[in-house]
Structure 1
Amino acid sequence: MDLPPEIRHITETFIPFSTLLTRVAQECFNGLSDVLTQMAELPVPQQPVSSLTNGIGSHGMANGSGNMSENNVQKKLKLMHFADEHRNRFIKLLVLSMWGRHGTDMSKIIDVVSWLREQEACYADAAYWLGQIKLEMAAARIPHPDIKTALEVLSTGKAPWMPDLGYIPPEPLSAQQTLKLLRNINVQLSIRLNLHEQLPRHLRDWKVGSGRATFVIPSEFELDVSASSEDSSTPWYFIDIRLLFSPGPEIPDGQFRSHLEWQANHSLATSGLSGCYDFLHNFILTHKIAVLRDQAHELNAANWAGSIKVEPVRRSLVVQYWIEMPGKKSWIEIGIVSGKPKNGRISWRGPTPSHLAVRWFRQGVEVKEHNLVFDWGVLSMEQMLRKVVALHISHILETLQGRLVASAQGNPILTAKATISDSEPSDCALETTLGNSINPAKVLIDPVTGKFAIQPCTAISARAEHDINLLKDAPTDASRIISSMLCVTLQSTIEKEAQQFGWTKLNNISLKAEAIKAAFKQDVIRHTFFCGQGWTPKWALAAIINLSGESWWVVELRDNVTLGSIERAEQLHIDAGILNKEPISRTLLNTVERSAIANISFSATVRVCKAAGIPNSMETAYIGSGNSIPGRTFPGLVVNGDALLKPIGMRMTWAKNTLRILHQGFVASRGNVRHLAYGKMPNEVSNDLQKLMPASRDSDITIRRDGIFWITLYTPFGEPFIEPLQSRLRDIGQLRTFISTLKGHELVCESASLSQVVFRYGAALKATVDFKPNGAIRLNLDPSSPHQRICAHLTALMNGGRTDSLLKGVAAIKPTAKDINLFAKALLLTLPVLQAFKDIETAHPASIYDPSIHPRNIDHYRLRYDNPLCSFNVRGRVKGDEMKWVIEDLNIPSDLKSGVERAKEATRAENLDQALKALWRESGDGWDGVRRGIVASPEGVGDAVRRLDELVRSFAVAGMEDRIPVRGGGDEKVKDEVVKTMVNTVPKGNVNGSGNVSGNGNGHKNGASVHDVITID
């Protein structure tokens, strides 16, 4: 049966059965693929081979008791679950297919049921709308109709007592009427404001124009109001409002403006102009806070992201900044202050209106006194934050500056200068420098994050930044880290410059902080030990760094191997002008090294002086342009010359008693320290020495015309220079004494130096005197010199009686002026006799041995002849102030004869004895014969010796030459005695207090005895 057309046939939600069947079959296939894949991923262990026979399992296995491993069980379960699930789906499809065979009838029933429900809904809606119409018609009912007004309107067309509802627009006014109307309104408004209104002080800035009164509230708004009647009791009505701050939005026509006008008119009607001002004023203040809140959110989403936190609290705004910094938080609070005085008393000017105010909390503490002045006419949350942050950064930097300066205890070496700003945080900085470092540190604070930054960026500053940014109270604790950073930076600069300068850093010195502080007697933050080029391991140079800057110390180490402890530490007193102005550079390090080496040398020397009792004092000498080393300052030592030479038995009679020693540098390649000793000698002494010294090879000694003399000393590093100075002063004294002696005896000095003097004596004879380092004097003569025969005796005479064999074992010899004077006298007095001896030897062939001359001493010689056999003594003797030479015959008893004479048992020829007696009665130029010899003056002794030689040779026996050994032969059996060198200058004598040599021999009546001793002054 077909349904009528009024009943709608519903087919919207029908789905074809074929589509459903296709989807279920596809899902079954997909599910089977997934199950097989999952089963393949589960490995099954293989069964033992013994259980399989030809691929068939054991017959003893029961059903279901095959492979019971966990993976095999899981495979079976997955397959069973899949089969069960999809079996149920296909059963449902079977049910639906069976139901679908009767689907036509069921569809008709559904259509009928749907139509019945629609009809039921229509009946219900009709009843509802009837009731609703009744309710809405209630407002249109007129309970009391005005019949009188209706009749008047219907009959005349108007009713005077009815107000004009504006349904009919009035005729437009002309320009003249409009101008006249506005003028009238302006007059009415002016009269009312001046006479009838009691305006508060914040509304006294007003003006009237264009039919309205305009009130101006600076940085807030302009309000236009007007009145509709001359009656002062009629209310004002709102016309317009303009915002006087930026960003200030225009208020467009709409719901908000309508509500604002209604609220303003309500305030004007109820409270007048004051009420309207309070309403609009509070509205503007709230709006400003809202604008600042929006700006804060924009900052938090842009440049200040993650650094500020915005918290609106009622009508206030709280903005927290530097939220990532540890420690207590900082924020600003912007709110509305009522303006009421705390004491409740109102000023004669009237109550103060409410206004915006800012409270600043710095690290959890409110800052009462601050210079936060904001321009409320131009709202900028970023500028407000920058001002607050600038003041906060300034406070931190000023606190750091104060703590750094306080920690330095007023020492100007540590400088800290804070540059602050009350509006721009990027202009705030703290520049600090320790010492004269070329790398000053600049401390900055990031305005956004509040994190510290230090320039220049180095590994040291980066580590300090990290440590400071972890502090909870950075203004208080950061000064310690910055101080340490400055010290480390200065230490790094010193180590870098020292390495380039050539110093070696001593890393093996490991000392505790207590030991360091005890050794240097001050607080030590950083320290470094260096060893200069050419220094010995015993000494080191320490750079001590604290908040007073760097100080340099000389350190004497107790253990040279392990460098385990400090024996002594002494601070170097370097010129403050150099330390304060000169940065860490090669120039400063050179000054420090020079001062350190001078300190080491002077300290060692002062200790020796104290031990020896030599007065001394330290001083600083400035050598100006007039000297050899112009314009420099040198450390110096002043010593007493006599006390210095006292240990070696000398005195500074040739110069003033004060000696100054200046440090002149260090020769690292040789490890020698150079000092310059200078003093003042009389002009006559300096003139004598200067005439001879220009050609001298002693480059370490300089003598000027004005008497100033300079001595250059080279000593090993760390060793005192007292001994070298004593040696050079002794050499100068010896040289001066020797030259004075030569000058006194009219000897010509050809050249002179501290090591050698060359002079001439006689007609053309030359002698060289060498001064040895130990003070000894050695005489060198030409091979042809007559004095070559007694050279050893003359050398011993100059050295105080010591011969060469004794000089080798003596550490220091002290020749005196008397010894040198005796040498000069002996040289001149012995020249004639020695020249005569040389003439006798050179007058005869070398094959003839006669005579043999034996020098027993400077003033004692023996002449022995073998053909004829005889001997003579030539001795000097002093009587009064006159020196005489005595030649005596040795015809003496046999017990006093020589060994050869006794062995031969020969007697002298009678004719020779008679000839000698005749000679003793003769006289010549400068000599006279006596009873048994000849007495001659120094000038005549040569002729006497030659006359004696002629006489003796005239009695020689012919044919005896072959029996006489040749001169220089080696037959000891023939020689009568061996020539022996005497050790003492004057045998069998002693030196008396007056410097004369006295003897103990007995004199004869008519001449000098064999045993007489001659004294030479």
Structure 2
Amino acid sequence: MNHTGSDLATASRDADGRKRNHDADMINGGLNGTRSDTPAGGPATNGGSSKDTNTNGASMALATTAGSTLGHYSDLPPEIAHIGPEQYNSLSTLLLRISQESYNELEEVLKNMAAIQLAPVTNGVLPNGLGAANMQGNADANRRKKLVLLSFAQEQRAKFIKLLVLTEWGKKASSDISKLIDLLAHASTQAAHMDAADYKLERIKVLSNNARENNPDIATALEVLSTGKASWMPSLDYIPPEPISAEQALKLLRYLNTSLSIRLNVHESLPRHLQNWRVHSGRATFVIDNELEFDVMSFVEDASEQWFLIDVRLLFNPAPTITVGSRFFMQLKLQADLVLKDKGLTGLFDFLNNFILTHKISVLRSQAVGLVRTGWAGSLKVEPVHRLLVVSYWTNKPGKKNWIEIGVSNNKPKNGKVSWRGPPIPSLTTRWFRQGKEVKDPKFQFDWKDLSMECVLKQVIACHASEILRSTKNSFKSGVIANARLSETEPGDCTLDATLGATSTSVTLSLEQVTGSYILRPASALSARAESAFNQGREPGQIANVMTQVLAGTLLSLIQKNAQQLGWQSVARQALHQQVVSAAVRLDVISSTLYCPRGWTPSWALAAVIDSSGESWWIFEIGSGGGSIEYAEQIRMDRPDGSSLPINRNTLASLERIAVQLLSFRVTARQLEKQKKNYSLKCELGPSLEAYRIARRWVLHVQTADLLAAQAGQDAWLESDIRITCEGMKVGGQNVWHMAAGRMIKTVAADMHKLMAASPQHAFKFSEDGNFRILLATPFGQDILGELRARLRDVNRLRTFATTLQKRKMLLKSSSLQRVQFQYGPSPYSATVNFGSEKELTIELSPSNPHHRILSQLTEIANDRSPSLPVIDPGDANGLDRFCTILVATRPLFKVLREVEQRSPGNYSNPAIHVHTIFKYRLTYDNPVCTFDVRLQPKDDNVYWFVEDNLRPKDPNVLPTPERAPGHRRLDNLQAKLKELFSRKGNGWFGTRNGMVAELDAIPRAIEELDKCVLGCRMADGYVAPPPLEKPPQQGLNQANGGQQGNQQQQQPRMQQARQQQQQQQQQQQQQQQQQQQQQRQGQSGKQHLNQQQHPRGQQPNGRPAQQQMPSGRQQTLQQQQQQGRGGPGGRPGQSKNDVITID
């Protein structure tokens, strides 16, 4: 939009508010003064030529309607985009930056002024009052400083004047400048759109040309497809060659083969590396091993014409397949034919050989880059150079760098002489740099046929690791056994084994192939610290010293670990110096440690001493002060074949056992010497292979007469000699196991064999020939004589108890010195007597045994803790005899009680059985409610079971709980049946006025009859108590409510009748009690001991403690509270007379 000066003049004359429409016509006044949207001949507005009209268009504006104005503005083009103030750089920001810049320049000026040097000042005061400031030199310096400051002030003043002008101008022209910026942005955008439209149109034209499809020649196509030719198409007049036959082709190939052979043998001078060739199919094939083979051909016999390349095949892996006719092959053939024209076959070989070698380097480079991206990441660095590959390995290892270079070498000798074989051919060569220094003549055997950069690196790293391990092995001191296993291809197979003493303490040193880090196995805290030291960069000599320390520390840690597993405690060695240990063992001690196994006393210690030959074990007797060794004895660990045992738990346990043998027998021998007893200590080999391999053992022989005192009237049952061996520490570490072996005399051995035939023993072993073995446990450091005497007494006690069981026809099921299990009764039932505790016996009964309910009472009887128990069998000599007698006497009762309980599974209340004493039991029924006591009492030199009904006890204050309620009354039919039962007589039992009396074996029948009688009166729907004998005083108060008064009036006649019946029954009961009291006074003297056993704790016959006497008022109040809580006499809390009673 270029405007001329006339346009500007015209625009200046036009009003500022005029615009153009989309047709480029002026609106709001044009050049011709007319509007295109007004009627023809209408008045012009805003600058029309008619002078009769208002030039400012005011009248026309007033005449324009609102509708036409809106339509007019809707036809206008859109407004241009307005650029907001947020896209501008504010003036305040400019002011801040200029101020900061001025401040920075002021600092520079001050620094420059300070850099101007002043003249030096002399000491003293100058004459005439002149100072340093008035000197000529300082005046020049001050003048320069002033000039610098004035120059800075002038520059800053000019800068801020410009800012002032700019600020004032911005205040006045800000709105106009904003409009100009909007116009400029709009114009720039439209220009960019026009340029882009031209470019897009050009691209559409170019790209559509490729998509254009030529118009088809339908007529020509139909003619050619139908007749095979078209007369109007021109003919090229090519003459086709004559077809060649198979004979001619064979003749041609033979001719070519012959001419090629003649040329190669006669006219070509081939170098030695091209001697491997063959002629076939009209071509000559040259083979270069591990690289390539190429085919060439020629049409003449002599060298007048050049050779031509026909095909190339690569003979290494990985390699691409070159296809004849491909773009690459054609490019290669073109270059090869040029070389053949100029240099012949020799030049072609050099060209192809260099090409193949370069390609191999490229393949190796790509493989190395792949390794960097995978498993070798962070440890390799690939540096490609022109026809040279540099690969650095172990890049993170401290010290100088290591790398290998692979390149192409011409193999020319350094002296420049050429061999009679001809010039050398180029090949791939490597140079190895280790620790920054080149290694001359490394013995690498790289496979250049199957290219593998990983294999190349492994060979180099394996050689490097082997050299490090070999130098480390040579740096070991004498006495350390080192063995290096090296490999030329696998770095992981290069290891160095070092051993100090036992093979179990060997360590293995190797290098990780990727990172070059040292690996010390087995892994431990010591090896981890050693690895950290190695990987910081250590020489082989330092590595050997550290490995020696690791071996010693590993051996100590191995001993410590196994010692801790066995519970050994380390002995503090503050007072026991290393020189004392060396003097005691007479060895060059490297290190030593002392242990106190579990259960040992502080005066003895087991020591592990390490010297140049390995470890050795000693027993030390420490002096009283802890700073001296009184006695030292070495424990031999050698096998018969000369090999040593490994350090493990079994070995240390065997060492501890042997040490315990030595100490135990020494203590026992000292005790025998004090007692002036004869003994002999002999050394024997262990019977088992394990004992034979580890060490010998000792056997102590003592006399039987020195252990057991002969009793009057008792025959000897042991032979004279007893052999004692030590079996090591007991689990728990406080006692020592010993095995005492002897022989019984023949008569006792036969009975003992019958006793122990079916009972395998743990602590006591007995054989048929009379030999026996007893396992003993004694505290460490004490003799075994007391324990041996006690165990021999246990054997004798077992014999006598077995005789007691045999006398009572009880079957012995299993037995040992601590435990005897037997069966009794026809059922039979099992019981166990445990002699394990020295103070008391323990009775063990299974829950299914009927006697299990009186287990605690049986235990008291077996331990003779029941002196008031009446004597049932005069032949009982001790508690075990009385225990067996009670089992036999009470077995029928408990059997029938168990059967009664198991009659209804889950019903433990009908009846409920309560044990009061060993000879008193109570049967409680809840449907119907009744209780009975069963007692065992002597009578006429015999014992009988007495079954007593608790309805009328001797003491009315001790009624059983179910029948204790005031006004309680039994069922009439139950009383009638019981009366009938108590008047009958059966086999072994008979009834009394208030119960029954039965023999020991007849008590089951009596109990069954009683149970049958009671359960015959059972109510199917639950027990309902009969009316009480008398009305309780508080019953009327408990039932005082409006809904129950009518029922209470109806029940009063029945209550009076029941009260009369109860009074009659009470009178009868009082008469029966008086008769029974007279009978009891007669037999009271014979029953005194039994009553004491029945009431050992001052209990009443119902098993409850006697109630203390209370004041009559207090007692009456308690009875009223019980009656109120139970809902009436004979009931439970919340229960009326007609409710079902359930007994707890």
Same fold? TM cut 0.5:
no
TM-score by length of 1: 0.43
Q: Which has the larger radius of gyration?
A: 1
- Which structure is higher in RCO with an 8 Å CA cutoff and minimum separation 6? 1
